[in-house]
C-alpha cells in the first residue's frame, strides 16, 4: 500500500530531524521523508495537521506470559496493549514456560505473534539450558533461529565462572548478552529496598550492594572477555555511575532502566501497596534522581517497560507474599514524555531513549525514520489526554500503580510495517 502523511510534526531522534514535513510510505517501508517523489501516487492520504509523527517504540523487556502462563496474559492481548501505547517492537525475555532455550520455542513465539495485531515480537534466548544457571544453552542455534541476544532473565548463575564461559562463548558469535545485576545471596528474601522504610514496615530489604556487587563482577568479566553486555533494569544511582565509568573506559556495555523507577520510590510502597512490589525494588529518591540524571546524559541509553502482567490474585495478600511486577506497556510512552515535560531532557532526546537508543543496543533497522527503514511509527495528538483507568486498559494484567494518573497527549494511530496495528476510536481506519 502507498500512503502519504501530510502536515505532521515529524520527529526523528536518530537524525535530529524535527519539522512539519510529508512522509511517504510504500509497502512496508518509508519511501521518502520531507519530499514527495515524482510519480508517487498514494492510495491513501492522511492529513495529520496538529499531530506528531515519530518512530514506534522499542521495548527491551516485556513479559507476554505466553507460552506457559496464559492465565495472566497472552501474546494477542499484550501486543494489542503495546500497539495502543505506541510500542511497535517488544523483546520477550527467555523465562517463559518452557524457557526459550531452543529454536522450537523461538519459532512458537514468532508463530503466535504473527497471528496477533502485527506488533513485532523479538526474543531473547536462554543463556543456560532451562535457565538452570549451569550448562550453557546452544547459543549458535539460538542465533540462527533469530534471537536478538541471550539472557538468564532474573535467574541466578551458579558461579562467576559460568558467566565468564558464557560471555566468552557469546563473544565468538557476536551475541549480545543481557544480564541482571542482582546478587541473590545479598538480596536474600528481600522484597523492597533495604532502608528506613523497610525497617519501619518490618519487611526484609534488598540492599544497594545486591546490585553494585553483581555489577562489579559483570564489568570485570566484560573487560576480561570483550563480550557485548547489556545491563537490564538498573535501580540504583551507584549502579548507573558504574556503568557510566565502564562506558567512559571503552567497555562494550549498555544499560536500561524501567520507566517506573524514574517516578516511584520506596515511599510509594510505604502503605504496603502490592502494586509497588517490584524486583529490582523501588529505591530512594536519591537513587531515582541519579537514574534520571543518567538517562538525561545518555549513560543509560534506553527506558523499558519491564512489563509483567498478573492476574488479580497475584497481588492479593501480605506485601512480601505477592508476586512482583507492574503491567506497564501502556504507560511506557506517557511516562517517557513526562520526563520531557518536566524539563529533564528535550522531547527528541526523551523519544530517543525508547526508539533509537534500544534499536542501537540490539542492532535493529527500526527506531528511526529514513528512506528504506521499516514503516514503524506513531501518530500522536499532543493536545489530547491519556487517562490511565481500568475501563480503558488493554493489558490482561491490571496491576499498575498508575491508575488515576492523567498524561498529556494520546496515541491516535500505531503503524507497523506500513499498516495500522491500532487506531484510536473515532480515527479513520484503513
Q: How many helices (H) and strands (E) does the chain have?
A: 12, 18
Please enumerate in sequence order all residues whose Cβ is within 8 A of that of 85, keeping only pairs 6 or more positions apart, or say none.
57, 329, 330, 331, 332, 333, 334, 411
Q: Which H or E element spans position 179?
A: strand 177-180
Cβ atoms of 153 and 94 closer than 8 Å = yes
Cis peptide bond upstream of 280, omega within 30? yes
* Helices 160-172 and 209-225, packing angle to 10 deg: 40
Query: Sign of the C-alpha dihedral, residues 61, 150, 212, 293?
Result: negative
Cβ atoms of 211 and 161 closer than 8 Å = no
Q: Are strands 52-55 and 2-12 parallel, antiparallel or unpaired?
A: parallel
Q: Which of 306, 381, 383, 428 is catalytic?
A: 306
Q: DSSP string spanning 121-152?
A: EEEEEESBGGG-SSSBP-HHHHHHHT-SEEE-
* H-type alpha helices, 115-269: 139-145, 160-172, 184-187, 196-201, 209-225, 237-248
Q: Where do we find the cell 512522509?
A: 23
Q: Which of these, 392, 415, 418, 412, lies nearest to 403 by C-alpha position?
A: 392
What are the DSSP E strand ranges found in 252-294? 253-258
Q: Is 97 known to be catalytic?
A: no
Q: Which of these, 368, 364, 292, lies nearest to 56 by C-alpha position?
A: 368
Q: Where do we find the cell 515529524?
A: 10
- In 10 A of CB 370, how many CB atoms? 15
Q: Which H or E element spans position 7?
A: strand 2-12
How far is residue 141's CA from residue 161's CA, in Å, rounded to a whole number? Answer: 22
Catalytic residues: 306
Amino acid at each position: 500500500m502507498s500512503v502519504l502523511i501530510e502536515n505532521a510534526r515529524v520527529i526523528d531522534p536518530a537524525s535530529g530531524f524535527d519539522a512539519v514535513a510529508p512522509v511517504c510510505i510504500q509497502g512496508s517501508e518509508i519511501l521518502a521523508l520531507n519530499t514527495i517523489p515524482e510519480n508517487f501516487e498514494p492510495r491513501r492520504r492522511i492529513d495529520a495537521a496538529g499531530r506528531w509523527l515519530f518512530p514506534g517504540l522499542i521495548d527491551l523487556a516485556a513479559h507476554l506470559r505466553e507460552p506457559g502462563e496464559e492465565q495472566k496474559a497472552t501474546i494477542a492481548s499484550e501486543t494489542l496493549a503495546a500497539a495502543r501505547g505506541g510500542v511497535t517492537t517488544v523483546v520477550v525475555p527467555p523465562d517463559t514456560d518452557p524457557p526459550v532455550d531452543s529454536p522450537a520455542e523461538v519459532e512458537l513465539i514468532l508463530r503466535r505473534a504473527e497471528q496477533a495485531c502485527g506488533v513485532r515480537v523479538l526474543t531473547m534466548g536462554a543463556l543456560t539450558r532451562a535457565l538452570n544457571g549451569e550448562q550453557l544453552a546452544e547459543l549458535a542455534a539460538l542465533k540462527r533461529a533469530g534471537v536478538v541476544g541471550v539472557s538468564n532473565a532474573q535467574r541466578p548463575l551458579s558461579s562467576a565462572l559460568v558467566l565468564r564461559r558464557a560471555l566468552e562463548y557469546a563473544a565468538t558469535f557476536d551475541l549480545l548478552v543481557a544480564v541482571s545485576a542482582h546478587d541473590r545471596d545479598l538480596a536474600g528474601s528481600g522484597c523492597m529496598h533495604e532502608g528506613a522504610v523497610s525497617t519501619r514496615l518490618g519487611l526484609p530489604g534488598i540492599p544497594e550492594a545486591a546490585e553494585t556487587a553483581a555489577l562489579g563482577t559483570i564489568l570485570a568479566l566484560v573487560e576480561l572477555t570483550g563480550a557485548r553486555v547489556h545491563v537490564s533494569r538498573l535501580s540504583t544511582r551507584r549502579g548507573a555511575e558504574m556503568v557510566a565509568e565502564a562506558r567512559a573506559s571503552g567497555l562494550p556495555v549498555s544499560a536500561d532502566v524501567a520507566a517506573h523507577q524514574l517516578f516511584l520510590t520506596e515511599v510509594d510502597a510505604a502503605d504496603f501497596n502490592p502494586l509497588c512490589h517490584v524486583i529490582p525494588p523501588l529505591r530512594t529518591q536519591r537513587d531515582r534522581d541519579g537514574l534520571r540524571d543518567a538517562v538525561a546524559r545518555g549513560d543509560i541509553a534506553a527506558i523499558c517497560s519491564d512489563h509483567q502482567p498478573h492476574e488479580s490474585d497475584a497481588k492479593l495478600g501480605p506485601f512480601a507474599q505477592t508476586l512482583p511486577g507492574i503491567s506497564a506497556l501502556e504507560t511506557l510512552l506517557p511516562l517517557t514524555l513526562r520526563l520531557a515535560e518536566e524539563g529533564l531532557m528535550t522531547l527528541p532526546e526523551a523519544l530517543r531513549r525508547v526508539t533509537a537508543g534500544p534499536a542501537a543496543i540490539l542492532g535493529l533497522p527500526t527506531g528511526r525514520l529514513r528512506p528504506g527503514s521499516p514503516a514503524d511509527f506513531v501518530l500522536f495528538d499532543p493536545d489530547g489526554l491519556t487517562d490511565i483507568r481500568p475501563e480503558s486498559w488493554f493489558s490482561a494484567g491490571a496491576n499498575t500503580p498508575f491508575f488515576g494518573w492523567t498524561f498529556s497527549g494520546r496515541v491516535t494511530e500505531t503503524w507497523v510495517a506500513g499498516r495500522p496495528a491500532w487506531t484510536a476510536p473515532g480515527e479513520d481506519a484503513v
